[in-house]
Amino acid sequence: MTSVDSPFWGPDFRELQSTDPQIAEVLLGELDRLRGGLQLIASENFTSPAVLAALGSTLSNKYAEGYPGRRYYGGCQQVDRAEEIGQERARQLFAQPGTDIHVNLQPHSGASANLAAYAALLKPGDTVLAMSLPHGGHLTHGAKVSFSGTWFQPVPYTVRRDTELIDYDEVRDLALTHRPTMIITGATAYPRLIDFARFREIADEVGAWLVVDAAHFIGLVAGQAIPSPVPYADVVTFTTHKVLRGPRGGMIVCKPELAKRIDKAVFPFLQGGPLMHAVAAKAVALQECLQPAYRDYARQVIANAQALAEALAAEGMRPVSGGTDTHLALLDLRELGVTGSQAETRCDRARITLNKNAIPYDPQPPMTASGIRVGTPAVTTQGMTEGDMKEVASLIGRAVRDADGSATNDVGTAVGALVARHPAYARPGQATGLRA
Ligand SMILES: *Cc1c(COP(=O)(O)O)cnc(C)c1O
């Protein structure tokens, strides 16, 4: 068998530099950006060198339409193993004791996983009850610009004005009125836990499928830091690159009786050949999630988000719903008289990367927005803890209030010093801050 030194063919950066210096420079520039700034986008993380090795492998070359053991191409012995190993690891992570689940590792992205769930369970024109986009839902939950709002009938549910929490009574009322074929829950900007049991009850009452889009928080479930939607949902869709810390991609976990419908929806209904390098990298990430250290990581992600939300509150930014139970917080900036878009720009010039975000009942249009969203998956992977979050909050506070840019240099320098103590993708000879 080929061993690593005989030689192993994988990413050869010097080769790229000599054949395509322009793109090599982009890669180096991006690495500098990651190393030199604070990455607080709630949907981003730093993958491990092992995941990157699988992603940069010759598995990218292989056509493997179909599923392990029943492919439309020959030569799939090795990639079959990668997919089966990945499925087995997902079962270990997500199946409840004594129950079985089906796993599909092939969706190219979270949006593709959602499209597959719609395709498996619905016909065009069917009604879908889903979280309103301005209240934290995803584009694939019924936005007009997405397939979900064009080919299906979305009915949006919202959060309450007073608590900024999902209004389960409203969800039930809407379900009884509109009789959706599918209810989808999960969000991109909801900092609290979702009551999956309550959603199951409502779905059962009206005979709807329950799909949980766990894209954001599935990593916290894998790390056993928050309750799992798997016992309640018919289908759970998610991305593999957010808290879960794997390669960019999607995944689906479903009840065994839906296995065929889900598999057929992914291939051949909406995709062709799977990205087998990404499937292998997903397997690597799932193995990392099975380690005890990943459980510590997941808990620390939440502790950091809570510390960050609290410290930002002290800076005059109001945490929507009063705080967070997860990896992200949504901050209302109206008291500071700064819009989300201004805050995003001001932070960006000081090397703090975060995004503007609508808050519930936002008076501003989405491109302006009254809030920002911050997440702790990446900084926690770098090894930062609650004490660092206080410093991060103070740096954000200074950047957000810095209308004329006079503090940009000082804040940027402080950001540089902070991340140098916890390097992401350490330079040779530098101690790595990366958590196992
Ligand atoms: C990120 C996200 C998606 C989409 O994932 P992509 O990989 O960007 O397509 C879908 N649903 C939710 C709730 C998300 O947060």
Nearest atom of ligand 1 to the alpha carbon of 213: 13
Q: Is the pLDDT of residue 431 over 80?
A: no
Q: Between the CA of residue 109 and those of 13, 54, 74, what are the distances in Å?
A: 26, 17, 26
Best probe residue, ligand 1, of 140, 235, 238, 326 (max atoms within 8 Å of C-beta): 140
- My answer on whether omega of the bond before 21 falls inside 30° of 0, hence cis, is no
Q: Is residue 396's pLDDT more than 70?
A: yes
For the Cβ of 245 lying below 6 angstroms from any atom of ligand 1, the answer is: no
Cβ of 216 less than 6 Å from ligand 1: yes
Whether the bond between 7 and the residue before it is cis, its omega within 30 degrees of 0, is yes
Write down the catalytic residue from 44, 164, 167, 213. Answer: 213
Q: How confident is the model at residue 432 (pLDDT cuts 50, 70, 90)?
A: low
Please give the domain boundaries of the chain with CATH numbers for all domains: 59-289 (3.40.640.10), 300-421 (3.90.1150.10)
> Strand 182-185 and strand 209-213: pairing?
parallel
Over the stretch 267-310, which tens digit does the pLDDT of each residue have? Answer: 999 999 999 999 999 999 999 999 999 999 999 999 999 999 99
Band (1; pLDDT cuts 50, 70, 90) = low
Reply yes or no on whether 213 is catalytic.
yes
pLDDT band with cut points at 50, 70 and 90 for residue 10: confident
- Rg of the Cα trace of the chain? 22
Q: Quote the ligand 1 centre to 114 CA distance (angstroms).
A: 8
Report CA(180)–ligand 1 centroid distance (Å).
22
237 in active site: no
pTM to 2 decimals?
0.96
Element (H, E) at 357: strand 355-357
Q: Is the pLDDT of residue 265 over 60?
A: yes
Could you read off the pLDDT of 106-145 as tens digits, one per residue?
A: 999 999 999 999 999 999 999 999 999 999 999 999 999 9
- For the cut 80, the answer to whether the pLDDT of residue 363 exceeds it is yes
> How many H helices and E strands in the chain?
16, 15
Say what the pLDDT of residue 22 is: 98
For the chain, give the mean pLDDT.
Answer: 95
Sign of CA dihedral 158, 161, 164, 170: negative
Distance of CA 178 to the CA centre of its chain: 30
- The reply to whether ligand 1 has any atom less than 6 angstroms from the CB of 239 is yes
63 is catalytic: yes
Q: pLDDT digit string (tens) for 133-189?
A: 999 999 999 999 999 999 999 999 999 999 999 999 999 999 999 999 999 999 999
d(CA 127, CA 152): 6
pLDDT tens per residue across span 307-343 = 999 999 999 999 999 999 999 999 999 999 999 999 9
Strand order in the sheet with 102-104: 102-104, 250-254, 235-239, 209-213, 182-185, 127-131, 153-157
pLDDT digits (tens, 9 = 90+) for 202-227: 999 999 999 999 999 999 999 999 99
* Distance from residue 137's CA to the centre of ligand 1 (Å): 10
Q: How far is the CA of 115 from the centre of ligand 1 (A)?
A: 11
